[in-house]
Amino acid sequence: MIDRYAVMLCGGSGTRLWPLSRALRPKQLLALNGKQTLLQQTALRLARHVPAKHLVTVTHDDHKFEVKGQLAEVLPEAVNGVMAEPYARNTLPAIAWAVSRIHLQSPNAVVGVFPSDHSIDNEDAFHRAWLAAEKGADLGYLTLLGVSPTEPATGYGYIQPADARIGQENGHAIYEVARFVEKPDRADAEAFLTQGYLWNSGMFVFRADVFMQLLTEHQPEIAESINKLDSSNIPEEYSKLPNISMDYGLAEKARQVAVVPVDMAWSDLGSWDSIYQRNDKNRDNNVCQGDVLALDTQDSLLWNTHGLLATLGVSNLAIIQTADATLICDRGRTEDIKQLVTLVQEQKPELAELHRTVQRPWGHYAVLEEGVNFKIKRISVNPGASLSMQMHHHRSEHWVVVSGVARITNGDQEITLKENESTYIPKTHRHRLSNPGDVPLHIIEVQCGEYVGEDDIVRFEDKYGRN
Closest to 258 in 3D by CA, of 207, 194, 216: 207
Predicted confidence at residue 430, as pLDDT, reads 96
Pinpoint the residues of the chain covered by CATH 2.60.120.10.
Answer: 357-461
In angstroms, the CA 66 to CA 361 distance is 7
Predicted confidence at residue 58, as pLDDT, reads 97
> Which residues share a beta bridge with 298?
315
CB neighbours of 389 closer than 8 A, spacing ≥ 6?
Answer: 409, 430, 431, 432, 459, 460, 461, 462
| Residue 396 contacts residue 448 (beta carbons within 8 Å) | yes
Closest to 253 in 3D by CA, of 216, 209, 199: 216
Helix axis angle, 208-218 to 91-105, nearest 10°:
130
Is the sign of the CA dihedral 222, 223, 228, 232 positive or negative? positive
Residues comprising the chain, all counted: 467
In angstroms, the CA 101 to CA 275 distance is 35
Closest to 157 in 3D by CA, of 189, 187, 129: 189
In angstroms, the CA 352 to CA 343 distance is 10
Superfamily of domain 357-461: Jelly Rolls (2.60.120.10)
Predicted confidence at residue 451, as pLDDT, reads 95
Q: Other C-beta atoms within 10 Å of 451: how many? A: 12
In angstroms, the CA 95 to CA 168 distance is 27
- Beta strands across the sheet bearing 441-449: 357-360, 363-371, 374-381, 441-449, 395-403, 422-425
Predicted confidence at residue 464, as pLDDT, reads 85
Superfamily of domain 4-267: Spore Coat Polysaccharide Biosynthesis Protein SpsA; Chain A (3.90.550.10)
Residues of the chain with pLDDT under 50: none
CB neighbours of 317 closer than 8 A, spacing ≥ 6?
Answer: 300, 301, 311, 328, 329, 330, 331
Predicted confidence at residue 355, as pLDDT, reads 85
Closest to 143 in 3D by CA, of 100, 213, 215, 202: 202
In angstroms, the CA 34 to CA 12 distance is 21
Predicted confidence at residue 230, as pLDDT, reads 86
* Distances, alpha carbon 459 to alpha carbons 36, 357, 380, 416, 430, in Å: 34, 22, 19, 22, 9
Q: Other C-beta atoms within 10 Å of 456: how many? A: 17
